[in-house]
Amino acid sequence: MGLKMSNVALKEIKEIIFSGRSIAVSAHTSPDGDAIGAACALAMAVNGRGGYAKVFLEKYADVFNVIPVNGIVENEMGEFKPEIYIAVDCGDMERLGGFKEAFAGSKIRINIDHHKSNTYFGDLNYVDTEASSTCEIIYKIVGDMLSSLNNADYIAGCIYSGIVFDTGGFRHTSTSSITLAAASELIKYKFDFSKIYNTIFNTRKFEEAKALGRAILNMEKLAGGEIVYSSMSQEEIKSCGTESDGLSEIINYLKGISGCKAAVFVYEKSTGVFKVSMRSEDDVDVSAVAQSFGGGGHAKAAGCTVEGSKKEILDKIIVEISKQLT
């Protein structure tokens, strides 16, 4: 089946997901709150209705252990051969990382996502770029059946976690009345929404705080402060005692500098390989910048991985951003 840049009806996706076929659900590498919440909520809803679904994710950051996944997450597929493979919160097939081949080899491949850069890589696609989160789409699929499921508290907690994570706690402009209506229904179920919020947004490891401090020390500005950027080498990351998953907070901090219209954070993932994260305001579409370097994301939050020297990469990225600022 060739790539078709169009969605099937949600009803059709729903019929297939709840048709009794065995299902695997995976999300993108380095799973975040939305990826974890969406994958687990969907699989738990299938199981709650007497179906058979498993979730396969890469190991994820400790803060996300607050998401009530009820033990459903596995890291390896073993011999499991699902009839349906569902990718959630994944812009393209590559982002499935180690689960890509199993996905590609499945009979029915479903792609449910909200990334602007989505490549419609499934046999059945449902991509809603207006949705705040993939979890908001999952709510559209399972919301009306929640009250009849005996694992509804877990499902609601997972969906809520993903919405809260991707909206930055209902702060980002992706938050809509649909988002809040979903949250309003979800919060009727039993899960610790206060703990979820505080764990995801207000806690950090000692080593992560040190890395944030280092990144702030390395901060530079350009274009009268409209561009703020920073970088960290492998040695600097190691000297703080953390790894790449401890750096996720940094880019938002850079974006928070007053007057900043575009923030860039570059860190060395492995020798000569750099991960670039970008955040912006209306004037700058960083997903276009990321795409020109083989990455992707949203207009105001995007990233890419680039090989080369740090200085060279930063220069090229900043040139691209500057073009949009003039």
Binding site for Mn ion (CB under 5 A): 34, 89, 133-134, 166
Measured from the CB atom, the residue of 130 and 283 that comes closer to Mn ion is: 130
Give the whole-angstrom CA distance, residue 60 versus residue 27.
11
Distances (CA, A) of 238 to 155, 204, 254, 290: 37, 17, 21, 26
Measured from the CB atom, the residue of 54 and 114 that comes closer to Mn ion is: 114
Shortest separation between residue 272's beta carbon and Mn ion, angstroms:
29
Give the whole-angstrom CA distance, residue 231 versus residue 268.
8
Give me the residue label for tokens 């499902």. 155
Distances (CA, A) of 81 to 40, 90, 141, 177, 263: 18, 20, 24, 39, 43
Shortest separation between residue 57's beta carbon and Mn ion, angstroms:
14
Give the whole-angstrom CA distance, residue 289 versus residue 27.
24
Shortest separation between residue 119's beta carbon and Mn ion, angstroms:
16
Measured from the CB atom, the residue of 40 and 260 that comes closer to Mn ion is: 40
Cβ-proximal residue to Mn ion, closest one: 34
Bridge partner list, 231: 266
Give the whole-angstrom CA distance, residue 321 versus residue 324.
5
Give the whole-angstrom CA distance, residue 198 versus residue 206.
16
Give the whole-angstrom CA distance, residue 45 versus residue 307.
41
Measured from the CB atom, the residue of 98 and 168 that comes closer to Mn ion is: 168
Give me the residue label for tokens 């809509």. 176
Shortest separation between residue 90's beta carbon and Mn ion, angstroms:
9
Shortest separation between residue 241's beta carbon and Mn ion, angstroms:
29
Measured from the CB atom, the residue of 118 and 133 that comes closer to Mn ion is: 133
Helix axes 134-142, 152-166, angle to 10 degrees: 150
Q: Which of 310, 215, 196, 312 is nearest to 257 (CA)?
A: 215
Give the whole-angstrom CA distance, residue 274 versus residue 261.
22
Measured from the CB atom, the residue of 115 and 214 that comes closer to Mn ion is: 115
Q: Which of 139, 112, 136 is nearest to 126 (CA)?
A: 112
Measured from the CB atom, the residue of 172 and 205 that comes closer to Mn ion is: 172
Shortest separation between residue 136's beta carbon and Mn ion, angstroms:
9
Provide the terminal-to-terminal Cα distance of the chain, rounded to the nearest Å: 43
Measured from the CB atom, the residue of 139 and 229 that comes closer to Mn ion is: 139
Shortest separation between residue 264's beta carbon and Mn ion, angstroms:
21
Shortest separation between residue 222's beta carbon and Mn ion, angstroms:
29
